[in-house]
Structures are given as structure tokens and as C-alpha cells.
Amino acid sequence: MRKKLVFLAVGAVAAVLFFNASSTKATSDEIVVSIKPLHSLVCALAKGITNPTLLLDGNSSPHHVQLVPSQVLAMKNAKILIWVGPAYEQPLFKHVKQLENNVLALQDDSSIKLKPLRSGTFWDEKSCCVHDHHEDHDHHNHHEQSDATNLDGHIWLDPLMMTQVVGVVLQHLKKLYPNHQGLLTRNANDYKKRLEALHQDLLKKMEPYKGKTYIIQHDGNQYFDNAYNVKTIATISIDPNVPPNAGHMLKIRKAIGDGKIHPKCLYAERQMDGALARSYADTLKLSFVVVDYLGADIPAGEDAYEALMNAYVNAFIEGIK
């Protein structure tokens, strides 16, 4: 009889604990985040409240990924979807248009300054676009796809840009979880300190390579270049959805041969055709390294972004040193 009473008491306590936990801890599908670097940030902010769901694992490029039904359903059922916007995850656009729930497209927030995509064969102080998108367009909406896709969405490649993202996401999470204002603010402040420390560490690593030039598979490194004082001098393809142009590659080859540009490395991207990029590196007689913007092999979670950026910088240095 005593054993039965003890069992019932333990069961009652467990039930109470379960009820309390379930009433304060949101389910994991309340927040859906498009890519791993943003998911990492949102995990850090929402720690102790909910476990956000990652939509894209990073094995395919968000520029041309095809969603499976379970991913579309996750977007539909979420209380909020957080993504960069059609400037980066363009294939999500047609699904986002159909959502009735809350959607946060970071590129739609005026406090986050996205850069326009560059054009031309070579980029330097004179030829590349330096004006700010938000100065030219006071009002823009992620439903206006043709305008919105002319922007560079790789904002997470600069940790200081991510501190701006923290502020934007924080305001939306406070609306979603009004009973957790204090915890959200503390989490945000802690994560901003982590981002600043990360940036300082990466600055030290990149200091010896200041001013170095390189070629990359497609135009996605503007924020990284600005943060760490290196320079993309050319790219294989301006638009990741368009195959490289033979005339474009001939111009690059001639410029290198004539000594007009001096790139050290050609960087391929994990999510794109590495074999093609390697063939161009061999032709141009450049070193070749694969970099991963999205941390495909890094476990998702609040520590993923720091691990991703450290791995990215280590791979970058391997190619340019």
C-alpha cells in the first residue's frame, strides 16, 4: 500500500512538472527560421522560451532550393516565419505570399541596410555600387519581388550586421511572447556581446590579409569584405541562377594575364557546382578553396553562427595566405 501511495505521489509531482513546463515552454514549431545563421541567432534570443525550427539545413543553396511538402506545412503552421527575404531565399517567395500568419522579412526593415547587387566584370572603388538601397527606396515590400531581388542578402557574413538583426527580431519576439519581455531582453543583450567578441576575434585573424583580392563563385561577400578589409575583385557569376558567361571569363583571364588584377584565390561555395569552379581556378592558375556560407556540417542551435563564421574565416585564410 505504501509503495502504491509513493508511486501515486511521484506521478502527481511529475504531472505538475509536466504541466508547468508545457505551459511556459512553447512548442518547437511556433517560430520557423529560414537559414542556419539566422536560426542560431533566434535560438539564442528565444532560449528558455521555445526551440525555433530550422527550415533549410544548408545542403542546398537557398537561391534555388525546392521545398518539400513538410517544409511548406511548417511555414504555414508557424506563428512567425523569419527569413532574409527574396533577396536571398527567393524560392520561398511564392509560399510566403500565401501565408496569413506573421512574417518577418529582414530586408523589409529600414534599420537593416542591404547593399545592391554589383554589376560589371571587375569591382573596385570606382566601378562597384556604393549607394545605399534604403536611400533610393523609402518604401519597399517583399511582395515586390523584382525590386527586392536586386539586393545582396548575405547579411550574416558581418557579425555587426547581425547585431542589427538582433534588435529587429527582439521586437517581434516581444510581441509574440509578451510574458517573457525581461528574458528576451537579457538574451538579446548577452548575444550582442557574443557577436561583438566574435567580430573582434575575426578581425585579429584577418588582419594580416587586409587589402587582399580574390574571386568568388557568385556575388555574396560584400558584407564580409567590408567587415574584414578584403576585396572581391571579380566573380564567376553575378546571378547564382545564371550560368557563367564565356566572355566574362575571358575578360577575367586576360586581366590576370596582363597583370591588371592580382587575385590570390578562387573560392567555390559548398552549395554550388564546385567542379566547375575548380576548372576555372585551374585555368586561371589560382588557388582553390571551398567555403560554406551556411554551415551545412555544423549542428543547428544557438552556437552554430559562431562556429560557422570561424570555419568560414579559417577556410578563407587557407586560400588567401
Q: For the residues of 65-83, what is the DSSP string, one character each?
A: ----HHHHHHHHH-SEEEE
Q: Say whether both 197 and 210 belong to one domain.
A: no
Q: Torsion angle, CA of 85/91/93/95, rounded to 10 degrees?
A: -130
Which of 169, 202, 235 delimits the end of a domain? 202
Long-range contacts at 96-104 (CB < 8 A, ≥ 24 apart)? 96/142, 97/143, 99/75, 101/76, 102/172, 102/176, 103/142, 104/80, 104/168, 104/169, 104/172
Q: Say whether both 187 and 70 belong to one domain.
A: yes
The overall average pLDDT reported for the chain is 83
Q: Would you say residue 296 lies in a domain? A: yes
Q: Say whether both 181 and 45 belong to one domain.
A: yes
Q: Closest by alpha carbon to 135, among 110, 164, 105, 165?
A: 110
For residue 286, give its domain range: 206-320
pTM over 0.85: no
| The three three-digit cell numbers of residue 312, written as one number | 568560414
pLDDT for 228 equals: 97
For residue 269, the 8-state DSSP code is E
- Along the chain (321 residues), what's the average pLDDT of each consecutive run of 10 residues? 42 39 49 97 98 90 83 92 91 84 91 85 50 35 52 95 98 97 98 98 98 90 96 81 78 91 92 84 93 95 98 97 90
Q: Quickly tell me which residue has 569552379 as its cell.
A: 277
For residue 238, the 8-state DSSP code is S
In whole angstroms, give the CA distance from residue 249 to residue 121: 9
